[in-house]
Amino acid sequence: MAQNLGPESLHEESYCDSTVNRKSHHSEEVKKNLVTRLNRVEGQIRGIKGLIEKDTYCDDVITQISATQAALNSVAKILLEGHMKNCVVERIQEGDIDVLDEFLITIQKLMKK
């Protein structure tokens, strides 16, 4: 019953509304996948907190932090891919090239980390 819910299988499932009150619209499958991933990240954060409270060796805590950052990055990649392939393309097709500046700022924010 395991499904491949990685970024490559989800990019066609979401799109963004380019109206003034922009919202992203994801299929139920995509939302479920993202929420599942975020629930895992939330659990990892609680685990890291517990490690610190138990005075766990620093290197082990740092390893867990790295794994949590990677998990959060995977959520960002799914959202970024869907945004690029759907929202950005749609807005460019509508003649809104300002979306490119918005997208570049988003990439810069992600790369700061």
- Could you tell me if residue 90 is inside a domain? yes
- Could you tell me if residue 77 is inside a domain? yes
Asked whether the beta carbons of 84 and 103 are under 8 A apart, the reply is yes
- Could you tell me if residue 9 is inside a domain? no
pTM score, whole prediction: 0.75
Task: Give mean pLDDT, residues 73-85.
Answer: 93
One-letter identity of residue 112:
K
Please report the pLDDT score of residue 24 as a whole number: 74
Cα distance between residue 57 and residue 93, in whole Å: 53
Domain with 77 in it: 25-111
Write out pLDDT tens, residues 14-24.
456 545 567 77
One-letter identity of residue 95:
G
- Could you tell me if residue 1 is inside a domain? no
- Is residue 108 predicted with pLDDT exceeding 90? yes
Indicate which CATH number applies to the domain containing 81: 1.20.58.1000
- Could you tell me if residue 13 is inside a domain? no
Number of structural domains found in the chain: 1
Packing angle between helix 58-82 and helix 28-53, nearest 10 degrees? 160
Cα distance between residue 59 and residue 107, in whole Å: 30
Structure tokens at 60: 């082990």
Please report the pLDDT score of residue 8 as a whole number: 44
